[in-house]
């Protein structure tokens, strides 16, 4: 999972000189603050990234023990 999600498509807010918002959910970037959960629940970007995050978690290998010999053991 990424710590900050800043690669979403943005559009300029017409009324302000340096203000932007998410192209999909129209929430300003100052409210999103790089967090996926700050996008609207129906936001296409949030839905897409959530699916990839869930797949990445499922694909991580899970080890119950180490397969490597113990290096710290003394003969």
**Between residues 67 and 3, which one has the greater pLDDT?**
3
R_g of the chain computed on alpha carbons: 20
Note the pTM of the prediction, 2 decimals.
0.69
Q: What is the pLDDT of residues 4-49, one digit of tens each?
A: 999 999 999 999 999 999 999 999 999 999 999 999 999 999 999 9
pLDDT score of 32: 97
pLDDT band at 56 (very low <50, low <70, confident <90, very high): confident
| 10 bridge partner residues | 22
Sequence ranges of the domains in the chain: 10-57
Give the C-alpha separation, 13 to 66, whole Å.
53
């Amino acid at each position: 999972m990424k710590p900050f999600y800043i690669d979403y498509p943005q559009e300029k807010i017409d009324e302000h000189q340096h203000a932007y918002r998410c192209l999909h959910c129209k929430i300003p970037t100052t409210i999103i603050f790089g967090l996926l959960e700050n996008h609207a629940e129906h936001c296409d970007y949030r839905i897409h990234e959530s699916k990839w995050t869930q797949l990445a978690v499922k694909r991580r290998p899970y080890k119950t023990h180490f397969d490597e010999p113990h290096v710290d053991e003394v003969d």
